[in-house]
Amino acid sequence: MTRGLYSVLLYLLSPLVVLYLGFRSIKSPDYRKRWGERFGLTRLSQADVLIHSVSMGETLAAIPLIKKLMAAHPELSFIITTTSPTGSAEVVKAFSDHLNGRVQHCYLPFDISVCVKRFLRQVQPKLCIIMETELWPNLVYFAKQQQAKIVLANARLSAKSAAKYLKQAGLSQPMLASLDAIAVQTQRECERFESLGVKPEKITVCGSLKFDLHIDDCKHLQAKAFRSEWQRNDVPVWVAGSVHPGEFEIMLKAHQQVLAKYPNALLIMAPRHPEQFNVAAVTTTQQGLTLSRRSMNQAVTEGVQVLLGDTMGELLMLYGCADFAFIGGTLIENGGHNPLEPAAMGLPVSVGPHHWDFAEITQLLVNAGGLEVITDEDSLANHVLDLLEDPQRYELAAKASLQVVSQNRGALDKQVNVIENQLS
């Protein structure tokens, strides 16, 4: 497929894009808002640097990078785009003092030619920084037409994604050739980009920005206070973070096995998407477990068996309340989510077999002894119970998680250097 054919197909499918937004807005009202931004209709000002950070995870990784660039270059203006309401909320929270001044924020338009051209014609960025994997053929093509430098930062490329790019070489290779620099996370991913024809001199192995996670002391203190308030200081607490439909019942069944040995144990279950909060609540009560919802500030009394983490921006703190974490999106064919947040909080971690989006990070944690790959509710429950019943093994796993995070810090400075080279 060529970019021309891709563009035609997007025009033909554009009515489905409207249906998609309508469908998402049924479960998540935020998708009913700001449609003008998604079609490039919102009026914007010129900005020197465009940063696209997709959703909440990529945005949280991008924030320290953006702040460092802003501090180093007070003469530059920025526009930060996302595609999800959760990512948008993080941008607003992090840059509220600068919004509509040095920093603009909007959703990135859909990759329909007319929408992207209208957007870029207004913004006219000198530099485009795209986070992780969010490469869009028309965005890259028209940005390059305007002579913008393009950097793929904190870049990830799984074997599965590389195979897809190879199958669509007519579309992907011109897009990859247009990139001026790639700050890639691992050597293995560097090799995958090279196998797709990217020139080695364009690629720098920098590590993942997510290793440079900074955790405020207040988060630890807040977590400690909550656990004490719940009267769970001396009983097991574990978190199932970023879980998806298809995993809710697995988590709850695993927790029932933990409860059989530790009747006062608490599971904190945090669904990945807000539109799944109510589904998770219903599933919990259907399993016969007592539930408290964090969004409603319901008391976590002695009889509560599951705390539903149905809020946004609190997952890191909730990890701090726990002894152990499971990372969702890995027992279904999703690709998984970042295991570094619980690791940075000093927790042993487990994931399912479908963790290809974070394969290298997962392997680092496995090799160090901080992470276990499980397959179902039985192996998950057994792993939790084994750690609870062997304090020495638990301590070794917790220290291993912290050590992996500590030893791999430094990506932020390396990636800023890659970007600086494109600004000079």
In angstroms, rounded to a whole number, what is the distance separating the alpha carbons of residues 57 and 202? 25
End-to-end Cα spacing for the chain: 35
CA–CA gap between residue 111 and residue 150 (Å, rounded): 16
290/299 Cα distance (integer angstroms): 12
SS3 204: strand
How far, in Å, CA of 281 to CA of 269, rounded?
10
Amino acid of residue 54: V
CA distance 145 to 140: 9
Catalytic residue among 58, 189, 314, 372: 58
Largest CA distance in the chain: 64
Say how many C-beta atoms besides its own lie within 10 A of residue 122's C-beta: 15
Query: What is d(CA 122, CA 80) in angstroms, rounded to the nearest whole number?
Result: 14
**In sequence order, which residues have a C-beta less than 8 Å from that of residue 12 and are 6 or more positions away?**
none
Q: How far apart are CA 382 and CA 378, in angstroms?
A: 6
Helix, strand or coil for residue 144?
helix
243: its two tokens: 């879980």
Alpha helices in 263-358 (DSSP H): 277-286, 315-320, 340-344
Could you say which DSSP state residue 179 is in? Answer: -
Quick check: is 58 catalytic?
yes
Closest by Cα among 313, 226, 237, 246 to 274: 313
Angstrom distance (rounded) from CA 353 to CA 350: 10
Residue 416 and residue 65 in contact, taking contact as beta carbons nearer than 8 Å:
yes
- Residue 14 Cα distances to 52, 114, 135, 138, angstroms: 22, 12, 19, 15
Looking only at the bridges linking them, the beta strands covering 324-327 and 306-308 are unpaired
Q: Which residues are catalytic?
A: 58
